[in-house]
């Protein structure tokens, strides 16, 4: 892992890597994080990014270090094997998927097992379970995060068994970590009205409106294109996504002609207010195109700046926090607007099955697990029906 530290410049955190050139002379590399100075949360986010970048600049495993020259064996350190596995699967998985593997291995898995000093062949189920306990008790990580580690370890060790590096997969003896039931934050109707008032005229007004009303994911909002809008039939097609992630020390933006799952590919009605909104945005883009001429960036994306350049997904999440703080609004994540949409639908009597289709969840259980605790209307109906069926005449008296 290359040495590095955080530096403050122009009130923002920068990563400074202590690199050397071929002659051995020090050549520090400055990398902007885009994170402003202020608060422990921002500092922690910058520290996490620093750790990620420091690991990403490690010398990669080369082909000469592959199984062909006998270096990859069961006697190698398990931490080194995990880096080898990353190298071997890089071209067989999507970039976004690989980025997740890379962060998990470089930031948590490899450092822990390197300090443990256990080899691939010596690794036991108890070693892995102790790693999980460390994640829960020392790092205070969530169950869902540790489940991602579990999946990575299982795949990596399955690969080791397949290529005869070990005889058996110790993960077969390890139970999948449990995760706590997730209850997302959400705004009340009055809080949402306050937010919509606060973002009027702000660059993030459009994504906030789309997330609050349609419950769209961030990737779906950024993936909206003009060809996704059918003004004749008044329909919005959700069939394209744009995601941003960090891999190899670089921030990447990738677009895909598909959604998170098959059910996420859906059409939604274009209501009159949003039809007018989109027509206004289309007219504004045409005016900007004429004013900017050759300086205008041509694309079919809806959410672009006045030069036609599509916004990057992380911009919305970061700017959203600033808007909340500036206007004294309760702190929630941008994704929690999706939960807000679902909660308002539930409170207004929309059935859970319809909400599943509106949000594009893959199955009903996903919707039910997340929002069942909010479904007070169905419980009230059950109470009314039970009161009609069962009439009681209690013998318990107020006095003694």
pLDDT at 64: 35
pLDDT at 69: 42
CATH 1.10.443.10 residue window(s) in the chain: 189-380
Contact status, residue 222 vs residue 301, Cβ threshold 8 Å: yes
C-alpha pair distances (Å), 370 with each of 263, 335, 342, 351, 379: 17, 13, 10, 14, 16
Structure-token pair, residue 174:
């390890």
Angle of helix 125-137 relative to helix 143-162, nearest 10 degrees, comes to 160
What radius of gyration do the chain's Cα atoms show? Answer: 26
| Strand order across the 229-230 sheet | 229-230, 235-238, 266-269
Strand, coil or helix: 127: helix
Structure-token pair, residue 193:
């009205």
pLDDT in tens, the chain (400 residues): 677 788 888 888 888 888 766 566 677 888 888 888 888 788 888 887 887 777 666 544 433 333 434 467 888 999 999 999 999 998 888 888 899 999 999 999 999 999 999 999 999 999 999 999 999 999 989 898 999 999 999 999 999 999 999 999 999 999 999 876 666 688 999 999 999 999 999 999 999 999 999 999 999 999 999 999 999 999 999 999 999 987 777 788 888 886 665 657 889 999 999 999 999 999 999 999 999 999 999 999 999 999 999 999 999 999 999 999 999 999 999 999 998 998 888 888 888 888 888 888 776 555 556 565 555 555 555 556 666 666 556 666 666 6
Structure-token pair, residue 256:
């895909």
Query: How many whole angstroms separate alpha carbon 332 and alpha carbon 185?
Result: 7
Parallel, antiparallel or unpaired: strands 229-230 and 235-238? antiparallel
Query: How many whole angstroms separate alpha carbon 229 and alpha carbon 231?
Result: 6
Strand, coil or helix: 227: helix
Query: How many whole angstroms separate alpha carbon 263 and alpha carbon 239?
Result: 10
Structure-token pair, residue 386:
């039970």
DSSP state of 351: -
State in words which class domain 189-380 has.
Answer: mainly alpha
pLDDT at 66: 37
**Cβ count near 203 (within 10 Å):** 15
Q: What is the DSSP string of 250-264?
A: EEEEEEESS-SSGGG
C-alpha pair distances (Å), 226 with each of 131, 222, 229, 244, 278: 48, 12, 5, 21, 9
pLDDT at 67: 40
Contact status, residue 251 vs residue 244, Cβ threshold 8 Å: yes
pLDDT at 384: 61
* Cα–Cα nearest to 182, from 151, 143, 139: 143
Contact status, residue 297 vs residue 268, Cβ threshold 8 Å: no
CATH 1.10.150.130 residue window(s) in the chain: 60-180
pLDDT at 1: 60
pTM of the model: 0.67
Residues with Cβ < 8 Å from 358, sequence gap 6 or more? Answer: 214, 215, 268, 341, 345, 350
pLDDT at 306: 94
State in words which class domain 60-180 has.
Answer: mainly alpha
**Cβ count near 308 (within 10 Å):** 16
Q: Is 293 left (phi over 0), alpha (psi -120 to 50) or beta?
A: left
Angle of helix 376-389 relative to helix 336-347, nearest 10 degrees, comes to 30
pLDDT at 54: 73
**Cβ count near 46 (within 10 Å):** 21
């Amino acid at each position: 892992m290359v040495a590095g530290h955080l530096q403050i410049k122009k009130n923002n955190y920068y990563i400074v890597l202590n690199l050397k050139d071929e002659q051995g002379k020090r050549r520090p590399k400055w990398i902007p994080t885009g994170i402003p100075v202020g608060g422990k949360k921002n500092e922690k986010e910058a520290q996490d990014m620093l750790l990620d970048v420091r690991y990403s600049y490690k010398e990669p495993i080369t082909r000469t270090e592959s199984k062909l020259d006998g270096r990859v064996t069961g006697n190698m350190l398990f931490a080194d094997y995990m880096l080898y596995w990353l190298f071997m699967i890089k071209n067989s998985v999507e970039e976004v998927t690989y980025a997740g593997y890379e962060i998990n291995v470089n930031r948590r898995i490899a450092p822990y097992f390197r300090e443990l000093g256990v080899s691939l062949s010596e690794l036991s189920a108890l070693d892995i379970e102790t790693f999980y306990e460390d994640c829960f008790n020392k790092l205070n990580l969530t169950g869902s995060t540790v489940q991602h580690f579990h999946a990575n370890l299982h795949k990596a060790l399955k690969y080791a068994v397949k290529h005869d590096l070990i005889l058996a997969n110790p993960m077969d003896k390890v139970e999948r970590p449990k995760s706590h039931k997730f209850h997302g934050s959400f705004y009340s109707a009055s809080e949402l009205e306050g937010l919509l008032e606060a973002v009027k005229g702000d660059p993030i007004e459009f994504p906030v409106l789309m997330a609050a009303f349609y419950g769209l994911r961030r990737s779906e909002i950024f993936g909206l294109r003009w060809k996704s809008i059918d003004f004749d039939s008044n329909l919005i097609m959700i069939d394209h996504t744009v995601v941003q992630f960090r891999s190899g020390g670089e921030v990447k933006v990738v677009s895909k002609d598909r959604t998170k799952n098959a059910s996420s590919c859906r059409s939604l009605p274009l209501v009159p207010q949003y039809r007018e909104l989109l027509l206004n945005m289309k007219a504004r883009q045409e005016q900007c195109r004429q004013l900017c001429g050759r300086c205008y960036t041509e694309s079919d994306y809806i959410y672009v700046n006045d030069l036609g350049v599509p916004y990057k997904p992380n911009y919305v999440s970061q700017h959203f926090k600033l808007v909340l703080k500036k206007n004294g609004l309760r702190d929630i994540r941008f994704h929690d607007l999706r939960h807000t949409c679902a909660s308002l639908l539930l409170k207004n009597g929309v059935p859970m099955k319809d909400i599943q289709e509106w949000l594009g969840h893959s199955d009903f259980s996903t919707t039910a697990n997340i929002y069942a605790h909010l479904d007070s209307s169905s419980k009230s109906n059950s109470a009314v029906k039970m009161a009609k069926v069962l009439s009681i005449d209690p013998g318990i008296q107020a006095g003694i």
